[in-house]
Structure 1
Amino acid sequence: MPSTASTNLRLRDQVRRVIRLNRYSVRTEKSYWYWIRYYIRFHGVRHPQEMGAKEIREFLTWLAVERNVAAATQNQALNALVFLYDKVLGVPVGDISGTTRAKRPPRLPVVLTHEEAMRLIAELSEPYDLMASLMYGAGLRVVESTRLRVKDVDFSRGVITVRDGKGGKDRTTLLPGPLLEKLQAHIEQIRSEWKMSNPDYQVPVSLPFALVRKYPNAGHSLAWQWLFPSSGCCTDESGNIVRHHVHSSSVQKAVKAAVKQSGIGKAAGCHTLRHTFATELLRRGSDIRTVQELLGHSDIRTTQIYTHVLGQGFAGVASPLG
């Protein structure tokens, strides 16, 4: 009889194979496997094929009631299990309508003023100041800023291309004018070190999925170099030594420290800069549909929350106090 460990290993290989066939991101792969493994352990290490809608309802309800997880967290677990049953095992999930859903409290995002954002950025050292400037100036998520490559910055068109953003989508956003010289100098430094065969550039950069097989020399090309490479090397999924981009946790840590140093007095982080990008554009008269496209929101309702931050939901209504 096969061991539990070997059974789980085979299931993980199945999950990994289907995820990569569907070209999901590495972050999604890790997240889905985390919840699948959690689900299996919750039910006494039973194989998912032995379980179904009843066990899914129990697990999701337990997350909401006992673990008190956020609605987004419960949805993430649900998405992972639906993917497992539908895409990997080929078994319908069934009726899970009786699941107790986590509450989604109505919260408005924390935003900064333009002056506060600039004060925060001024506290950061290189290259974190440039990355934070892109989060505020172009509306990038922290992960999107870390994943930028040389080829993603188009100076002639004045755009930045975001590859494999949230939901696996590509989009373009504006290239902030005040960052042109700094970005050009940054890329020129990368180009110079690459041309001089700096030892750091002898190691190929990590590439997405099967691209390394399709274009075996891409990892050494200038276009595919990370804009913000990590200081050390690591191994990819095939065991090859590669250079990855700077980890998002390093950026988050630097920004948190800068928030404290700047004395802003708000619970701000990397994503606050993206929120501030959106509210500043709307405050300055940008069309909400344009802001939606720049942010990469699939639903306009997600973008509309920023109108509430600005108080536009009360347009035309004056306080009786004056």
Structure 2
Amino acid sequence: MRQRGFLWRTEQTYRGWARQFADFVQPRTPMIADGGDVSAFLSKLAVERRASVSTQKQALNALAFFMQEALRIDLGTMEFAHARPRRKIPVVLSRVEISRLLAALSPGYRLMAEMMYGAGLRLLELLRLRVHHLDLERGQVQVYAGKGGKDRVTVLPETLRPRLETHLARLREIFEEDRRKGVPGVWLPEGLARKYQRAGEQWQWQWLWPSRMLMRDPETGVERRHHILDGTFQNAIRAAAAKAGLDKRVTPHVLRHSFATHLLEAGTDIRTVQELLGHSKLETTQIYTHVMQKPGLGVRSPLDRV
């Protein structure tokens, strides 16, 4: 998997599916399994576990790689029950609820939440931001290797600029202290690390949201500064939602949903919203029209003008 350039997270996900499949075919071993066993496992996901389309597809990709690349087993033509697509209406917070949520967060997490809401970022896109991804002068955020490996540019809220400048100044102090202590540079994708061996020690490659403590790299065992863990930020958002008395199921991704919905309600062209979100299909963006307070991109009823 590493020769193919898979991300560590993808590697762990594939390993997880391989373990589940091994449990499924017991007492036999995966070494003597075939396409029929994989089909039965995928059907169980759809029928018994009611897995989503994306979950079943992920399992298929993982097992196809595991069987064909690792075990050299030809799966042949497989027939299995497919998961039914379910279009979920996204949870969206009103502007008042957004304000209450932000007010309940500590300053550090508040800045992260404001960036996620203000730029329409996915959680991992937020956490993986590096110093050079911000263009304060042009008011832009560069998102590299987002979902599907796509790059894009989204908006950087002007109101965050002063606090981001202060935040970057604090990060510079942490960065310089790490260099004085000889802390290894931050993690870089394998290709970059091979081409620019000292880039991880350069300012522009530092994480925008670094962890307070050094962490051991699960791939290399090197102790270095990583970005804040996704679970840490998720817990902060969950606690803030409870503190703010919000009855909705609030996760970090709700901030991205709210970004899209509020732009559409304000009359922003849906194609522009699609580009800012990084959606490959317009239909994905159109789901937000179902939760707008004013259908029709903010158009008022003529009766309201009488």
Q: TM-score, normalised by structure 2?
A: 0.88
Q: Which amino acid aligns with 1:59?
A: F
Matched residue pairs, number? 299
Matched, 1:312 2:295: yes
Matched, 1:137 2:135: no
Q: Helix, strand or coil for the counterpart of 2:171?
A: helix
State the Cα deviation string for residues 261-292 of structure 1 (Å, max 9, x = none). Answer: 11122111100000000001111111111111
User: Which residue is equivalent to 2:3?
Assistant: 17
Give, in whole Å, the separation in 2 of the partners of 1:66 and 1:305. Answer: 27
State the Cα deviation string for residues 185-229 of structure 1 (Å, max 9, x = none). Answer: 111222244346676773421222243232221121111111111
Using a 3 Å threshold, how does the CA distance of structure 1 residues 300 and 202 change in structure 2: closer, same or farther?
same
Using a 3 Å threshold, how does the CA distance of structure 1 residues 190 and 45 change in structure 2: closer, same or farther?
farther
Post-superposition offset of 1:241: 2.1
State the Cα deviation string for residues 20-54 of structure 1 (Å, max 9, x = none). Answer: 2xxx3322221122112211231127565633321
**Which of 215, 220, 230 is the matching residue for 2:211?**
230
Contact 2:123 2:230 in 1 (8 A): yes
Q: Helix, strand or coil for the counterpart of 1:229?
A: coil
**Which of 116, 121, 124 is the matching residue for 2:97?**
116
Give, in whole Å, the separation in 2 of the partners of 1:282 and 1:101. Answer: 33
Question: Please, which moves more after superposition, 75-84 or 38-47?
Answer: 38-47
Matched, 1:63 2:45: yes
Q: Helix, strand or coil for the counterpart of 2:54?
A: helix
Correspondences of 1:161-200 after superposition (within 5 Å): 161-195=142-176
State the Cα deviation string for residues 65-85 of structure 1 (Å, max 9, x = none). Answer: 333333332222122223335
Q: Which amino acid aligns with 1:272?
A: V
Q: Which amino acid aligns with 1:222?
A: W
User: Which residue is equivalent to 1:215?
Assistant: 196
Matched, 1:30 2:30: no
- Identity across matched positions, percent: 44
Question: Please, which moves more after superposition, 241-250 or 161-170?
Answer: 161-170
Q: Which amino acid aligns with 2:276?
A: L
Q: Which amino acid aligns with 2:268?
A: S
**Which of 81, 85, 90 is the matching residue for 1:104?**
85
Give, in whole Å, the separation in 1 of the partners of 2:297 and 2:150. Answer: 34
Q: Helix, strand or coil for the counterpart of 1:172?
A: strand
Q: Runs of 5+ in structure 1 lacking a partner?
A: 1-14
Question: Please, which moves more after superposition, 36-45 or 217-226?
Answer: 36-45
Give, in whole Å, the separation in 1 of the partners of 2:286 and 2:72. Answer: 37
Q: Which amino acid aligns with 1:202?
A: V
Give, in whole Å, the separation in 1 of the partners of 2:29 and 2:296. Answer: 50
Question: Please, which moves more after superposition, 190-199 or 229-238?
Answer: 190-199
User: Which residue is equivalent to 2:260?
Assistant: 278
Q: Which amino acid aligns with 2:48?
A: E
**Which of 123, 134, 143 is the matching residue for 1:153?**
134
Contact 1:194 1:201 in 2 (8 A): no
Q: TM-score, normalised by structure 1?
A: 0.84
**Which of 285, 290, 301 is the matching residue for 2:272?**
290
Give, in whole Å, the separation in 2 of the partners of 1:68 and 1:199. Answer: 53
Q: Helix, strand or coil for the counterpart of 1:160?
A: strand
Post-superposition offset of 1:102: 2.8
Q: Runs of 5+ in structure 2 lacking a partner?
A: 302-306
Contact 1:25 1:164 in 2 (8 A): no
**Which of 263, 288, 309 is the matching residue for 2:245?**
263
Using a 3 Å threshold, how does the CA distance of structure 1 residues 233 and 50 change in structure 2: closer, same or farther?
same
User: Which residue is equivalent to 1:205?
Assistant: 186
Using a 3 Å threshold, how does the CA distance of structure 1 residues 190 and 314 change in structure 2: closer, same or farther?
closer
State the Cα deviation string for residues 92-141 of structure 1 (Å, max 9, x = none). Answer: 543223x1223333320110111211210111113211111111100111
Question: Please, which moves more after superposition, 134-143 or 199-208?
Answer: 199-208
Contact 1:53 1:93 in 2 (8 A): yes
Q: Over aligned residue pairs, what C-alpha RMSD do you find? A: 2.6
Give, in whole Å, the separation in 2 of the partners of 1:291 and 1:130. Answer: 22
Using a 3 Å threshold, how does the CA distance of structure 1 residues 300 and 84 change in structure 2: closer, same or farther?
farther
Matched, 1:125 2:106: yes
Give, in whole Å, the separation in 2 of the partners of 1:316 and 1:137. Answer: 23
Post-superposition offset of 1:183: 0.8
Post-superposition offset of 1:315: 9.9
User: Which residue is equivalent to 2:233?
Assistant: 251
